[in-house]
Amino acid sequence: MKDDHGQGFVIDRLTVDFTPSRLLDQLKRLRNKDHGVVRALHELCLAIAPGKAVGLLGESGCGKSTLARQIMGLLKERDPESRITFEGQDLDKVLDTDEQAFRNSVQMIFQHPDTFLNPKLMARDMVMEAFHIRGESKADIQAGRFHEELGKALDVLGLTWEDLEKTSDQLSGGEKKRMSILRVILAKPRYIIADEPFSGLDVSYRNRILKQFEILKEAGVGFLLISHDFHVTKKFCDEICVMYKGRIVHRYENPESGVPEVQHPYTQVLIVSNDYLARCHEALPEIMGKFKPEMGEKDWRTAGCPFEDRCFYSDNTELKDACRTKTPPEQRVMGSHVLRCHLFEAKEQQP
């Protein structure tokens, strides 16, 4: 992934290691000869273009939020060979040159809204800051020029003018999440990094917010939608990336058509874990009966496929040796899918 296209985000071979800070965690890992290093992201490549939405799927702990914080410049420690560019420029240089302009252009919806909300301020003060972010004058804001726009946005998100007069401690969990989304929508950024924006929300609110996201995307806003919900992600995104233990193991375009014709074993697990799709495809739930529970954290230095110890195909005698000793390379399958799995040999799968 060498071409930056001059626009959007390009993440190239992003590798991020952590060392646990707690003494007990360090001792435990040292005892296991792990030297205390946890690899959160492993040579990850991704691009977020204007007017496009990339969906990132995976279970908790796979590295999704770490990636979001890297893109936002909230976490800068990474491997020296890693590269993140924003509109053709190195992200670290962009942040050093004009961090405020970057943060006005790129807004994040945090998984936990308390990360964003200031408990000492009224919700009104935090929401009205969105108009400052997009460059509106203080005089226009105070004159109520944006009163109608704010009222419509409140209505869409199921919030009231009275909610704006509350502190975060007076808001429910769902109201906090919707208030944080309201602020991002009103700020009119060019890119939105949405980390589990629908968690804790009713289906009715989820659908309203998706419609607003669609309007923004059609206006040229680029999205990274981080989720564990296959159904929501396929409905909105132009490309889906499935992440497992810091690696993208499956990526494909045009997911709205439904269940992908080619599936990484872990993609199958994510699909059948969604009740909606499980009801539509009765043959798929049997996969869950074969899915192996995680028997402890597998060292990222270990050779072989990172999903091998849980995969329901790895006991196949023809695959066993490769799955356990060889890390699967990326290969394109049926034109639109890129997978890391020994089940698929590119020369056999090409039409």
Q: Can you list the domains of the chain with their CATH numbers?
A: 9-258 (3.40.50.300), 265-351 (no CATH)
- Beta-strand pair 38-48/9-18: antiparallel
The pLDDT, as a whole number, for residue 64 is 92
- Residue 258, both tokens: 């439904």
Q: At what angle do helices 123-133 and 173-187 cross, to 10 degrees?
A: 20
Would you say 268 and 289 are in contact if contact means Cβ atoms under 8 Å apart? no
pTM: predicted TM-score of the whole model, two decimal places: 0.87
Q: What are the 10-residue block averages of pLDDT along the chain, 351 residues in total?
A: 64 88 52 66 94 93 92 92 95 95 95 80 91 92 91 94 93 92 95 93 88 95 91 90 94 81 87 62 56 60 82 78 88 89 65 46
The pLDDT, as a whole number, for residue 23 is 46
CA 294 to chain centre: 22
Q: Hey, how many other C-beta atoms are within 10 angstroms of the C-beta on 292?
A: 13
Residue 283 DSSP symbol = T
Q: Hey, how many other C-beta atoms are within 10 angstroms of the C-beta on 341?
A: 25
- Beta-strand pair 53-57/239-244: parallel
Distance, CA of 100 to CA of 116 (rounded, Å): 16
Would you say 14 and 67 are in contact if contact means Cβ atoms under 8 Å apart? yes
pLDDT (tens digit per residue) in 77-112: 999 999 999 999 999 999 999 999 999 999 999 988
- Residue 81, both tokens: 């060979």
Residue 113 DSSP symbol = G
